Structure 1
Amino acid sequence: MSFKITLSAAGLVAALATAALAGAADYAFEPVQTEIRKGEGITIAVRLVNKAGNNPVTDAVIIATRIDMAPDGMAAMDAPLTPIPSDEPGVYAFKTDFVMAGRWRLSIAAKVQGEPETVKGEVIYTASP
Structure 2
Amino acid sequence: MTGREDFFDAYQEEHRPAGRGAWLLLGLVLIVAALAGAGAGYGLARGAWVIPGAVAARLPEPVAAWLPKGAPLMPPDLKDYSFELLDPETKSGEATLRVRLLDKRAGKPVADALVYARRLDMAPDGMPTMTGKMKPEASPEAGIYAFRANLAMEGRWRLSLAAKVPGKTGTVQDQLVLRAVE
Normalised TM-score (structure 2): 0.57
Question: Cα deviations across residues 32-69 of structure 1 (Å, max 9, x unaligned)?
Answer: 11010111x21011100100121110111124521100
Instruction: Identify the structure with bigger relative contact order (alpha carbons < 8 Å, sequence gap 6+).
Output: 1
Task: Map residues 77-116 of structure 1 onto 2, 5 A cutoff.
Answer: 77-116=130-169
SS of 1:93's equivalent in the other structure is strand
| Alignment counterpart, residue 125 of structure 2, candidates 69, 72, 80 | 72
Asked whether 1:119 is paired with 2:172, we answer yes
Corresponding position of 1:23: 77
Q: What is the CA distance between 1:115 and its match in structure 2?
A: 0.8
> Unaligned stretches of 5+ in structure 2?
1-74
Partners of 2:125 and 2:179 lie apart in 1 by: 10
Corresponding position of 1:54: 107
Partners of 1:87 and 1:37 lie apart in 2 by: 19
Moved over 6 A (4+): none
Counterpart contact for 1:72–1:103, Cα < 8 Å: yes
Give 2:141's aligned amino acid.
E
Partners of 1:43 and 1:37 lie apart in 2 by: 9
Normalised TM-score (structure 1): 0.79
Corresponding position of 1:36: 90
> Unaligned stretches of 5+ in structure 1?
1-20
Partners of 1:22 and 1:113 lie apart in 2 by: 15
Q: Percent identity?
A: 44
| Root-mean-square deviation (Å) | 1.4
Corresponding position of 2:42: none
Partners of 1:67 and 1:101 lie apart in 2 by: 14
Higher strand share: 1
